[in-house]
Amino acid sequence: MIQLTVIAGFILAASVPLLHRWFGERTSLMLAFYPALLAIWLFEQMPAVLAQGNLLFEWQWVPSLGISLAFMLDGLALLFGLLISVIGVFVLIYAGGYLRNHTDLPRFHIALIAFMVSMFGLVLADDLLTLFIFWELTSITSYLLIGFNHDDLEARKSARQGLFVTVAGGLALMAGLVLLGVASGHWSLSEIRADDTDLREHALYTPLLICLLIGAFTKSAQFPFHFWLPNAMAAPTPVSAYLHSATMVKAGIYLLARLHPELGGTTLWVTVLSVVGGLTMFTGAFLAIRFTNVKKLLAYSTVMALGALTMLLGIGTPAAMVAFVAFLMAHSLYKGSLFMVAGALDHSTGTKDVTAMGGLRSLMPVTSVIAFFAALSLAGVPPLLGFIGKELMFEAALGANAFQLLLVLLAFASAILTIAVAAIIALRPFYGPRLITPRVPHEAPLSMLLGPGILASLSLLLGIFPSVASELTAATVTSLTGQSSDAYLSLWHGFNLALLMSIISLALGFLVFKRWDHLRPRLALVAPLMRYGPEAGYEALMENIARFSVWQTKVLQNGYMRNYILVMLLTLIGLLVNSILVRHSPLISFSLDVRFYEVMVVGALAMGALFATLTRSRLGAVVSVGIMGLSIALTFIFFSAPDLGITQLLVETLTVMLLVLVLFRLPRFTSFSTTLERVRDGLIAGTTGALICLLILTAWSIDQFAPISGYMIENSAPLAYGRNIVNVILVDYRALDTLGEMFVLALAAIGVIAMLKFDHKSSQGPQAERKEPYDG
């Protein structure tokens, strides 16, 4: 039962503190067994996936709503699942070394495992809503991980930024998924795939695609939402290596790839994805070389890679799909490895600035070799996997049906800059003169070499023997195109234009690396332009939201009860006028057939209301409000609703008791308002009353829906074994509503109690108001 295994992951995350108590420092290793188990399971399923195309694992969850916890395993899910679980193993081992002796290591493990499970669920989810839930879970766990060092202002700010951007996108994604469900009539990916109707022809196609694209672009840091990813580097390095290069940021790419067979290929899809992807690719590569911080360099080069993947999906030709798979694998392997190398450098030298490091080759020989090979893959040098990815990308761009010239130029320019980035990371810290660093450099421990070492070797092995991954490639391309494919990877593509571009870009990239120190001051000249960039837009938006809420709180919620009531009633009047007088004409038809006692009760009610407003005695007002309450209770009883009557009576009694308690604490009865204000308030109150009366009369005469009471009366005894329908509704028919109300009641009570206790404390000491520093 894979579902249980995935859910067990959340339980594992919750039990991390216990594990830490038992296993201490070895916990990281223990936890690494979990992703290892998932990876083994995936390898076991591989033959079945290759044979059948896709496997379904279904588990009914809310059958009445048609929601099931269903997992679908096809080539694409398999590829992503393997990346998540295999890299997850190494990241956990690595984190154990990197965060050794960190007091908050358990907290880190909780969030990381929870993220791993969510990400795994996301790529396996078959149900659209399950997919959405896992999607949001990755956003939340990512927030916790970016803000792991929560005493650091920058980390908090970056975590919030990442959360806002991805969750805002998540909102759009939800709308998109709902539209997708409505348009296709299915709520599971496998059913959507099995259905033959063409969604591209559907009237909702454009809105649903736009919503889905916003969700995917925010998550995968596409231009103009790319700014949150480099800022997310405030996270500890294992997090950057895992979430912000290999897995989470690829969730958006995953979604696009998943929906490509159903939604791809239209003009809108091709235009938006190729252009946005191409732009993101170039922006990432261009912005990368401005930085000397090794993590920022890698982050921007990740933005570049994400852009390239989006672009390939946009191009959409079979060649582009093969390129997508090769590039995805290559990128996850070398980028995960390089991030871990960056962490090792930071760990042993105490700085992240590559210009402050030098000559480390003799001190950190193993790290330097790993960095060298991983960077070769990043640069796309044969015989590494990165070379295959880059070659195929060039070929795909050359074979694009639209925007061919633009995409080729962007890909070429990005490749040059990426090669420079690779050279900076692999050569700068390790060669040249020895520089003094904050810490005395030493070779990283085994736990921090194992992961990057294995990932880099995989890059090399898969580059030399690409046939190993051929079956996986074919299966993934099959799920990307929707038709069975026998695609394979090979190192040598013959002498062609793509190879020529590769060679020229290598030469030019190395030139950029050589001139890097001279280029940087010139690149700094574009910095003022950043003031108009998307990040500045984000900052301005946040600032204005804060300003707006300050303003609206001052105006609408200024702490005076009378003001709140005024605002609420005015809103109500607006809504009622709109619906009764503008949208529907008032329909009044009733017969005056009243009993004597009914008139009496109504009279008492009116008298009570009148007296309550006019009296100058507070006790008198309380009593007359009480009279009104009792009259209402009487009305309920007349119209044979004993339960309501009793409830009203009891609530009235308790209200009077509470009022009596509060009464003694109130200041003397004084008049706050001028005559004019009283007239205004009277008018508003009168209008509201009249409109509500009109509403009830209108509602009484319109029978829009068949009343549900008949069903309840008939079925309460045979189905729910109860003759008291009110109670049956409360505890059986509508038990979920009641449960919700119980929580509301509990919250209200806790609020009242807390407020009273707080007030009671602050009245005794001068430290009444503790100001929370706001770091926004």
Partner 1 sequence: MVKSGTVILNTAARFLMPLQLLFSVFLLLRGHDEPGGGFIAGLVAAGAFTLYMFAFGVSATRGVLRMIDPRDLIGVGLLLGMVSIVPAWFVGEAFMTAQWWTIPVVDFKASTPLIFDVGVYLAVLGAVTGMVMSLMEVDKDEP
Residues that bind partner 1 (CB under 8 A): 62-64, 642-643, 646-647, 650-651, 653-654, 657-658, 660-662, 664-665, 720-724, 726-728, 730-732, 735-736, 738-739, 742-743, 745-746, 748-750, 752-753, 756-757, 759-760
CB of 640 to partner 1, least distance (A): 11
Of the pair 61, 611, the CB lying nearest partner 1 is at 61
Q: Is 242 helix (H, G, I), strand (E, B) or coil?
A: helix
Of the pair 524, 657, the CB lying nearest partner 1 is at 657
| Measured distance CA(735)–CA(728) in Å, rounded | 9
Structure tokens at 341: 């190398």
Of the pair 700, 758, the CB lying nearest partner 1 is at 758
CB of 153 to partner 1, least distance (A): 36
Of the pair 589, 764, the CB lying nearest partner 1 is at 764
CA separation, residue 534 to residues 159, 232, 593, 723 (Å):
17, 16, 68, 63
Say if residues 702 and 587 touch (Cβ distance below 8 Å).
yes
| Measured distance CA(262)–CA(265) in Å, rounded | 9
CB of 657 to partner 1, least distance (A): 6
CB of 665 to partner 1, least distance (A): 7
CB of 733 to partner 1, least distance (A): 10
CB of 127 to partner 1, least distance (A): 16
| Measured distance CA(450)–CA(456) in Å, rounded | 10
- Residue 630's Cβ-side half-sphere holds a number of Cα atoms within 13 Å equal to 12
CB of 757 to partner 1, least distance (A): 6
CB of 94 to partner 1, least distance (A): 40
Structure tokens at 459: 């890059």
Q: Tell me the one-letter amino acid at 575.
A: L
Structure tokens at 251: 């969730």
| Measured distance CA(452)–CA(94) in Å, rounded | 9
> Cα angle vertex 329, ends 233, 172, to 5°?
60
Of the pair 677, 759, the CB lying nearest partner 1 is at 759
Helix (H) or strand (E) holding 322: helix 318-349
Q: Is 127 helix (H, G, I), strand (E, B) or coil?
A: strand
CB of 650 to partner 1, least distance (A): 4
CB of 244 to partner 1, least distance (A): 37
Of the pair 262, 732, the CB lying nearest partner 1 is at 732
- Work out the burial of residue 71: count CB atoms within 10 Å of its CB; fewer than 13 is exposed, 13-18 middle, 19 or more buried: buried
Give the closest residue to 272 by CA, choosing from 204, 199, 213, 198.
Answer: 213
Of the pair 546, 619, the CB lying nearest partner 1 is at 619
Of the pair 537, 751, the CB lying nearest partner 1 is at 751
> How many residues does this entry show for the chain?
776
CA separation, residue 294 to residues 80, 131, 169, 237, 750 (Å):
26, 34, 28, 11, 49
Q: Is 217 helix (H, G, I), strand (E, B) or coil?
A: helix
CB of 730 to partner 1, least distance (A): 6
Say if residues 591 and 611 touch (Cβ distance below 8 Å).
no
Say if residues 238 and 186 touch (Cβ distance below 8 Å).
no
**Which residue stretches of 465-595 are H helix?**
470-481, 497-514, 516-523, 534-556, 561-576
CB of 744 to partner 1, least distance (A): 10
Give the closest residue to 264 by CA, choosing from 337, 212, 220, 305.
Answer: 212
Say if residues 325 and 254 touch (Cβ distance below 8 Å).
no
Say if residues 396 and 263 touch (Cβ distance below 8 Å).
no
Structure tokens at 429: 């810290």
CB of 760 to partner 1, least distance (A): 5
Of the pair 7, 435, the CB lying nearest partner 1 is at 7
Say if residues 23 and 106 touch (Cβ distance below 8 Å).
no
How far from each other are the two terminal CA atoms of the chain, in whole angstroms? 45
Of the pair 224, 722, the CB lying nearest partner 1 is at 722
| Measured distance CA(503)–CA(509) in Å, rounded | 10
